């Protein structure tokens, strides 16, 4: 299969908030350009009050970091702003990322406040990459999370992504299709996404095909003669039950079956989907077309799909558009990028914290790790524990977790194993991680969702998955809150 690489099409190094440049210029002027810092990416709330989100976009972060450079046009533009020092601009002209990055792998279930990506680098390098890291992870994690919700609602029926024409721009369509595929959709209608990422593409006809011909029967007949092995007819241009389905059956009998072919499906794009699918299924079965699939499209999401099944709908496949690729119900994934540590003269990370009157905005300080605990008998995820980077979980001893807010709420874990969730991505500016192929990321994602208890994955009032702090990290955070709140 011929594939193209979008990273070769354009240089995205200047896609940043301008304050990243003004701050970096200040760091440079004040002799701080070599100061090593640690930044964490984390989010504070699961979209749509869900029980979990899904990590996606890491491969594009890697591509961005690898290609990071400022060309002459970039430097000339920045010089024209008349607020950046010439020495700093010369520094940018030979810029290269030299730091370390650790991250969760794509497809991993993620939860609020845990560092899904950590940057350790000289401060200017760490600062300049903030915007691209956030927009990449925020967008793809949002769409992967939404698509997985829809796929789970479909309960084993295939879901196809149909949203390009209503996505937020070109990248929203292309990378949205990638993210949706990770979340479990089986195909996309976006041809370029298929070419770039190797995602299966799907598409048959629009209403304009049917309208172009003198009648519906001729439209279906002509299509069948052109595509006898993949005929799916859009049956709602005029009347689904009075003409659409009868004409589909007629063409199947008169054109396809004499050719040794079968009608693959009919598609409903409007009307009462539950009622129409039940009636259409009966008509198809009575005509001997029990293998003909019924496809539904038109403003679907996990809630409408669940409602359709509750009404007894006979739908085999779903084409889901704008509500998936834009995550219409909650179109923002609130990932943030916060400074958590600064290296001292001994090259040791000294913790930093962000204090707020809003408890959910108080950051977890220090260089950290995240461990996921699994039950040995069921292989189900029990909880996540955020620790300081030097801490190691001893799986041969019971481990006590406690609520970071209500610390008297404790639970002793036994019979568990752990997985460290952050893996090395860059070391000294060089990539040390090989991104899996997209199909492997997708398979990994679906397998990891299956490690979560049903109480966590349900749509209504999901159980809160425990993300606790180690005792050492909790103590550090508590002491820093007291210090900066003048409580000591």
* Mean of pLDDT over the chain: 95
Instruction: Let me know whether 359 and 474 are in one domain.
Output: yes
Instruction: Let me know whether 319 and 335 are in one domain.
Output: no
* Per-residue model confidence (pLDDT) at position 347: 94
What DSSP line would sit under 221-240, residue for residue? HHHHHH-TTS-EEE--SS-I
* Per-residue model confidence (pLDDT) at position 404: 80
* Per-residue model confidence (pLDDT) at position 1: 40
Instruction: Let me know whether 151 and 134 are in one domain.
Output: no
Number of domains in the chain: 2
Which of 303, 325, 347 marks a domain boundary?
325
d(CA 137, CA 335): 8
| H/E run at residue 138 | helix 130-154
Q: How confident is the model over 265-310, as pLDDT tens digits? A: 999 999 999 999 999 999 999 999 999 999 999 899 999 999 999 9
Q: How confident is the model over 454-476, as pLDDT tens digits? A: 999 999 999 999 999 999 999 99
Instruction: Let me know whether 438 and 387 are in one domain.
Output: yes
Domain that holds residue 97: 6-143+331-484
d(CA 56, CA 177): 12
The percentage of residues in the chain with a pLDDT greater than 70, rounded to a whole number, is: 98
d(CA 39, CA 24): 15
Number of other residues whose CB lies within 10 A of the CB of residue 480:
18
Which of 297, 325, 353 marks a domain boundary?
325
User: Does a structural domain hold residue 475?
Assistant: yes
Count of residues making up the chain = 488
Burial (CB < 10 A; 0-12, 13-18, 19+), residue 485, is exposed
Instruction: Let me know whether 139 and 157 are in one domain.
Output: no
* Per-residue model confidence (pLDDT) at position 6: 57
Helix/strand/coil percentages in the chain, nearest 5: 40, 20, 40
- Supply the CATH number for residue 112's domain: 3.20.140.10
User: Does a structural domain hold residue 41?
Assistant: yes
Q: 112: pLDDT confidence band, cut at 50, 70 and 90?
A: very high
* Per-residue model confidence (pLDDT) at position 488: 46
The two tokens of residue 372 are 């996921």
Instruction: Let me know whether 165 and 281 are in one domain.
Output: yes
Helices 169-183 and 130-154, packing angle to 10 deg: 50
Instruction: Let me know whether 292 and 149 are in one domain.
Output: yes
User: Does a structural domain hold residue 44?
Assistant: yes
Torsional sign, CA 299, 305, 307, 313: positive
- Supply the CATH number for residue 193's domain: 3.20.20.70
d(CA 56, CA 362): 25
Instruction: Let me know whether 113 and 170 are in one domain.
Output: no
Instruction: Let me know whether 152 and 265 are in one domain.
Output: yes
* Per-residue model confidence (pLDDT) at position 232: 97
Number of other residues whose CB lies within 10 A of the CB of residue 46:
20
User: Does a structural domain hold residue 135?
Assistant: yes
Torsional sign, CA 454, 456, 457, 460: positive
Helices (H), 184-301: 191-197, 207-212, 216-226, 245-251, 273-286
d(CA 244, CA 148): 32
Instruction: Let me know whether 465 and 374 are in one domain.
Output: yes
Q: How confident is the model over 319-338, as pLDDT tens digits? A: 999 999 999 999 999 999 99
User: Does a structural domain hold residue 36?
Assistant: yes
**β-strands 36-43, 335-343 pairing:** antiparallel
Instruction: Let me know whether 94 and 110 are in one domain.
Output: yes
User: Does a structural domain hold residue 269?
Assistant: yes
Which of 272, 298, 325 marks a domain boundary?
325
User: Does a structural domain hold residue 1?
Assistant: no
Number of other residues whose CB lies within 10 A of the CB of residue 254:
12
d(CA 12, CA 379): 41
d(CA 399, CA 275): 54
Helices (H), 227-344: 245-251, 273-286, 302-310, 322-325
Q: What is the pTM of this model?
A: 0.95
Instruction: Let me know whether 246 and 351 are in one domain.
Output: no
């Amino acid at each position: 299969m011929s594939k193209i690489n979008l990273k070769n099409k354009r240089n995205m190094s200047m896609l940043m908030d301008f304050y990243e440049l003004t701050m970096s210029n200040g760091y440079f002027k004040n002799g701080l350009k070599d100061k090593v810092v640690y930044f964490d990416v984390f989010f504070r709330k699961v979209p749509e009050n869900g029980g979990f989100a899904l990590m996606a976009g890491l491969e594009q972060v890697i591509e961005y970091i690898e290609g990071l450079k400022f060309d002459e046009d970039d430097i000339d533009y920045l010089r024209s702003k008349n607020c950046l020092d010439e020495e700093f601009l010369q520094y940018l002209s030979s810029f290269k990322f030299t730091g370390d990055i650790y991250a969760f792998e794509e497809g991993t279930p993620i939860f609020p406040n845990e560092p899904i990506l950590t940057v350790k680098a000289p401060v200017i390098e760490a600062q300049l990459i903030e915007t691209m890291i956030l927009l990449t992870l925020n967008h793809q994690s949002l769409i992967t999370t939404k698509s997985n919700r829809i796929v789970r609602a479909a309960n084993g029926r295939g879901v196809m992504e149909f949203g390009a024409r209503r996505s937020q721009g070109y990248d929203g369509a292309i990378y949205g299709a990638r993210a949706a595929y990770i979340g479990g959709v089986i195909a996309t209608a976006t041809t370029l996404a298929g070419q770039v990422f190797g995602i299966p593409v799907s598409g048959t006809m629009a209403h304009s095909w049917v309208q172009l011909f003198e009648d519906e029967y001729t439209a279906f007949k002509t299509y069948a003669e052109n595509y006898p092995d993949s005929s799916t007819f859009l049956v709602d241009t005029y009347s689904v039950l009075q003409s659409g389905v009868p004409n589909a059956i007629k063409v199947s009998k008169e054109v396809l079956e004499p050719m040794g072919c079968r009608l693959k499906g009919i598609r409903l794009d409007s009307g009462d989907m539950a009622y129409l699918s039940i009636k259409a299924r009966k008509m198809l079965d009575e005509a001997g077309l029990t293998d003909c699939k019924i496809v539904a499209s038109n403003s679907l999401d996990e809630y409408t799909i669940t409602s359709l099944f509750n009404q007894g709908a006979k739908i085999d496949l779903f084409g889901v558009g704008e509500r998936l690729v834009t995550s219409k119900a909650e179109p923002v994934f609130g990932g943030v990028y916060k400074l958590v540590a600064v290296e001292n003269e001994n090259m040791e990370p000294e913790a930093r914290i962000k204090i707020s009157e809003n408890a959910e905005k108080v950051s977890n300080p220090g260089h950290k790790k995240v461990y996921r605990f699994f039950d040995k008998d069921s292989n189900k995820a029990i909880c996540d524990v955020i620790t300081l980077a030097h801490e190691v979980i001893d799986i041969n001893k019971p481990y006590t977790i406690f609520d970071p807010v209500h610390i008297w709420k404790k639970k002793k874990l036994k019979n568990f194993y752990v997985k460290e969730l952050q893996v090395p991505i860059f070391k000294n500016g060089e990539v040390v991680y090989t991104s899996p192929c997209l199909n492997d990321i997708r398979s990994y994602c679906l397998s990891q969702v299956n490690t979560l208890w049903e109480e966590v994955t349900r749509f209504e009032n999901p159980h809160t998955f425990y993300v606790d702090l180690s005792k050492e990290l909790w103590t550090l955070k508590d002491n820093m809150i007291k210090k900066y709140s003048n409580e000591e």
